[in-house]
Amino acid sequence: MPMPRYRPPDALESPRISGVRTFMRLPHVRATEDVDFAIVGIPFDTGASYRVGARFGPQAIRAGSTLLRPFNPAHGVDVFEHLSGVDYGDVAVVPGAIVPSYEKIVEGLAPIVEAGVIPIGLGGDHSITLAELRALSARHGPLGMIQVDAHPDTWEGYWGESYTHGTVFRRAVEEGVLDPDRVIQVGMRGPIYSFDDYDQSRELGMDLVTMDEVRNIGLEGVIERIRRRAADGPTFLSFDIDSVDPAYAPGTGTPEVGGFATHEAISLVRGLTGIDFVGGDLVEVLPAYDHAEITAMAAANVVFELISLLAVHRRDAANR
């Protein structure tokens, strides 16, 4: 088996403190040939309803990723034995203007998606996911989705605006880019406006697991429920870093106490083997509120777990 073309430099030759910051120190090339996954920064935060500054998330996550090593001992997999990956850089956006930004994001992702490369978006606030789903559904049809988040993001509108980070998944269902029967939201918590906040996800056809339920059924139970929901079909992983407790991820826009510990978040993603991920994103990292890169490193490690799943998928397919 030939070695994958694009991979990080060997840190035993070139120490991690050196080099221009890309995700995992992957080559920054706008290539799609011989590429399995592409990291794509989406520096847009005009959809945010509370703190802003997630536009600086991509560069923070890249900086927080430099210590990542290529072997994932939980799966016994060396990612870059199975996958070629690049840091594609950032797509263009229009600060302050969400509709034109969506168009530019879709345009920027199109060559990646058309080439069959798996895009992994670094946000940006959660509103960007609608554009990613638009781009991917053009190839795959309506997608399943696993959303790890403190909030369902299915409100009808905010201050009369249809497109925000709190309304994004209602829009996605309305547009037909998500298949709600294959969507599950995990980690919702905190004070809400009313039970409607959760009921409307269910009315849209999605499953929703609150953080209290996560505590009751445990991670194994959650993973089982995700599998039943999302199995069989192209699926997107959308990981909002505010699902992690602000003690572990303070650098975010809409913090809710009582969330996942970092190890739980990583274990949850790690458990999602056997799912056909065609894309994913890590959103809502807001470095101005971060300390000692805690949030950025948590985010980078979650992305690494997603990439590891892709590698396991590839390895297992080859062995089948």
- On whether the CB atoms of residues 177 and 207 are closer than 8 A, the answer is no
Q: Which residue type does 172 have?
A: A
The span from the CA of 24 to the CA of 6, in Å, is 12
In whole angstroms, the minimum distance from the beta carbon of 36 to Mn ion comes to 27
Pick the closer one to Mn ion by CB: 150 or 286: 150
Whole-number minimum distance, CB 240 to Mn ion, in Å?
4
Please give the single-letter amino acid code of residue 81: E
Nearer to Mn ion, 150 or 303 (CB): 150
Give me the least distance between CB of 239 and Mn ion, in Å please: 9
Residue 6's nearest CA partner among 62, 64, 70, 60 is: 70
What's the closest the beta carbon of residue 110 comes to Mn ion, in angstroms? 24
* Interaction site with Mn ion (CB under 5 A): 126, 149-151, 153, 240, 242
Smallest gap from Cβ 5 to Mn ion, in A, equals 34
In angstroms, the CA 135 to CA 30 distance is 17
CB of 56 to Mn ion, least distance (A): 18
Cβ proximity to Mn ion, 36 vs 153, nearer residue: 153
Q: How many CA atoms lie within 13 A of 250 on its CB side?
A: 8
Do 32 and 118 contact (CB within 8 A), yes or no? no
Q: What single string gives the DSSP state of each residue in 158-174?
A: BTTBS-STTTHHHHHHH
Shortest Å, Cβ 241 to Mn ion:
8
Q: Fill in the DSSP letter of residue 4.
A: P
Residue nearer to Mn ion on the CB measure, 11 or 261:
261
Alpha carbons 221 and 94: distance in angstroms, whole number: 41
Three-class secondary structure assignment of 227-249: HHHHCCCCEEEEEEHHHECCCCC
List 184's β-bridge partners, or say none: 146, 207
Q: Which is nearer to Mn ion, 151 or 229 (CB)?
A: 151
Q: How far is the CB of 200 from Mn ion (least distance, A)?
A: 15
Residue with Cβ nearer Mn ion (117 or 186): 186
Nearer to Mn ion, 134 or 151 (CB): 151
Nearer to Mn ion by Cβ, of 106 and 241: the residue is 241
Q: Is 49 helix (H, G, I), strand (E, B) or coil?
A: coil
Separation of alpha carbons 91 and 87, rounded Å: 11
Please choose, from the candidates 22, 41, 26, 35, the residue with its C-alpha nearest in 3D space to the C-alpha of residue 281.
41
